Amino acid sequence: MSLSSISKPVLVVEDDPDIRELLKVALEMEGYTVETAQNGQEAWDFLNGSNPKPALMIIDLMMPVMDGWKLLELKGLSSDFKDIPAMIVSATSDKKIPIPDKNQVVLKKPFDLKVFLSAVARFV
């Protein structure tokens, strides 16, 4: 399947406008459709109104309004959204970062863009 045939968007949830735009542009250059949210609440609202559901959620942990922790918690409790893969991208040194599983990966900021795009490709 070519990237251009992927109809489900990638949802980037990031409060830093420069990082959000960088990730959006990098993903679009690879052929992905990208939606963005500046915090967990915007992402949750998007999820509840979106069709189709995103193929992948890229989530920062430290954000205002609703942080990534709460978004991950709500996503995990929802039968509609719990199976959407999540990529956590965060600069936090918090030891409580969830342990990656088959449906999740963690990248520490700053990260190499090639590593990021490779991780996205594994899920989408």
Residue the block writes with tokens 């449906």:
103
Global confidence as pTM = 0.84
Distance CA 8, CA 96 (A): 30
Distance CA 54, CA 76 (A): 15
Pairing of strands 56-59, 86-90: parallel
Domains of the chain: 3-123 (3.40.50.2300)
DSSP secondary structure code for residue 109 in this structure: S
pLDDT digits (tens, 9 = 90+) for 37-93: 999 999 999 999 867 889 999 999 889 999 988 999 999 888 899 889 998 887 766
CA distances from 54 to 64, 92, 94, 95 (A): 22, 25, 27, 28
Residue the block writes with tokens 């991950």:
72
pLDDT at residue 4 in the model: 43
